Amino acid sequence: MSQNEARYTIRSLIVTAMVTAIATVVMLEASGKIDHSESKDHMPVGDFQAIHVTPNEPFRMSPKASELHAACENGFLAIAADVDPSFRGILVDYKNRGVRCSRPAPTAPPVPETEENDRDG
């Protein structure tokens, strides 16, 4: 390739792409198109999976502990961050039903349905 054909260097193309990306983010921020939620309500704390554990069968799990801990909140299992205990969320299943901390007694009265539960189910 001769000098006349090489109009742009790789470095100038990379700098142009970076400047374009930064300018795009700044313009979206200035026009209010990027939404920054200050409220921690209804924000997922994390994504969890259950590992089926059977007697005498090993299961694979990371030896490192997560930076979360569990607590019982009003009878439901809550997950909270170790660094910010106020950042807490109730563990729910795929149908948005809360996971109980303990199994209810067979003679216990049933949990009353609320309007919010009726809408979600």
Alpha carbon separation from 10 to 5, 17, 18, 24, 34 (Å, rounded): 14, 11, 12, 21, 31
SS3 (DSSP) at 20: helix
Name the stretches of the chain with pLDDT < 70. 1-6, 39-46, 108-121
What is the predicted pLDDT for the residue at 13?
A: 92
Q: What is the DSSP letter of 7?
A: -
What is the predicted pLDDT for the residue at 80?
A: 86
**pTM greater than 0.75 (yes/no):** no
What is the predicted pLDDT for the residue at 17?
A: 96
What is the predicted pLDDT for the residue at 25?
A: 94
What is the predicted pLDDT for the residue at 60?
A: 82
Q: Which residue intervals of the chain are DSSP H helices?
A: 10-30, 115-120
Rounded Cα gap, residues 111 and 69, in angstroms: 26
Are 68 and 84 in contact, with CB atoms under 8 Å apart? no
